[in-house]
Amino acid sequence: MITVLRAGPLTTVQDLGRPGWAHLGVPRSGALDAPALRLANRFVGNPDDAAGLETTLLGCALRFTHPALVAVTGAVAHVEVNGRPAERPRGHQLFEVPAGGVVDVGPAVRGVRSYLAVAGGIDVEPVLGSRSTDTLSGLGPARLADGDVLPVGTRAGTPIVGEPARPGGELVLGLRLGPRDDWLDLTGLFGTPYTIGMLSNRIGTRLAGTALTRAKAGELPSEGVVLGAVQVPADGQPIVFLADHPTTGGYPVIGVVADVTPLAQARPGTTVRFRELD
């Protein structure tokens, strides 16, 4: 078992999500930086889809009742075990925790979200086939709070050590236009820098920059939206939908970002540019 000593501002249980339920109004959810979670799971010998913890900016602190093999990936953060820097074999944040040991994942010094995997996985009850916390619908376990206790599954599998990706600087996102790109004047969209706004979260990344103006009057009926959909509300500032996005929306969707993974580690103020894809 794991006892949560310091939950941090937004620490959640995440696996690779629950895709396939959008027709019932259920978002896919799951880790925003799925490659980082997969890597952490491989470090400790878990299947790629095992559940771990996703922290946001300020990390968390946990006490382990039994010895555990733990890995931390994603955002770069200082990690301590019982008050001492965690040993990092081959430069990776992969370490053994003794019974009763306390792991403290500190504030992110680069990136936004760190991923903590423990051998055996976080063994909370799955909902619709996933253990992920969905911050929009409320499905899955609640966001972590101080004093929570989390079960750990049986340790199995062989650790595979690889090279973690490091969060970068300016982002260039490939965008496929449609289905409602004709509803707005997109002149300059692909040459204009945007910045990530403070109100971004697991539902979507809000961008600030040159406002896109309407080319058509009127309103659309609600339509289905997908991961990476770029929706433009009345203020003309694009929103890129992330893992906990709603399954329908009434504002025009001008395109879909091919890979939203870089947005998982992008802080407010980060510059974003769009690149048109065929």
Q: Decide if 228 is inside a domain.
A: yes
Q: Is 236 strand, coil or helix?
A: coil
Q: Which of 150, 183, 205 is the last residue of a domain?
A: 150
The encoded tokens of residue 187 equal: 């002149």
- Cα(186)–Cα(206) distance, rounded to whole angstroms? 17
State the DSSP string of 35-69: HHHHHHHHHTT--TT--EEEEESS-EEEEESS-EE
Whether the Cβ atoms of residue 252 and residue 222 lie closer than 8 Å to each other:
no
Does 259 lie in the same domain as 196?
A: yes
Predicted model pTM: 0.93
CATH number at residue 258: 2.40.100.10
**C-alpha 120: how far from chain center:** 21
Residue ranges making up the domain that contains 41: 2-150
Does 261 lie in the same domain as 185?
A: yes
Residue-wise pLDDT tens for the chain (278 aa)?
999 999 999 999 999 999 999 999 999 999 999 999 999 999 999 999 999 999 999 999 999 999 999 999 999 999 999 999 986 654 458 899 999 999 999 999 999 999 999 999 999 999 999 999 999 999 999 999 999 999 999 988 888 766 656 666 789 999 999 999 999 999 989 988 999 999 999 999 999 998 999 999 889 999 999 999 999 999 999 999 999 999 999 999 999 999 999 999 999 999 999 999 98
6 Cβ neighbours under 8 A, 6+ residues apart: 59, 60, 61, 104, 146
Does 143 lie in the same domain as 35?
A: yes
Does 188 lie in the same domain as 86?
A: no
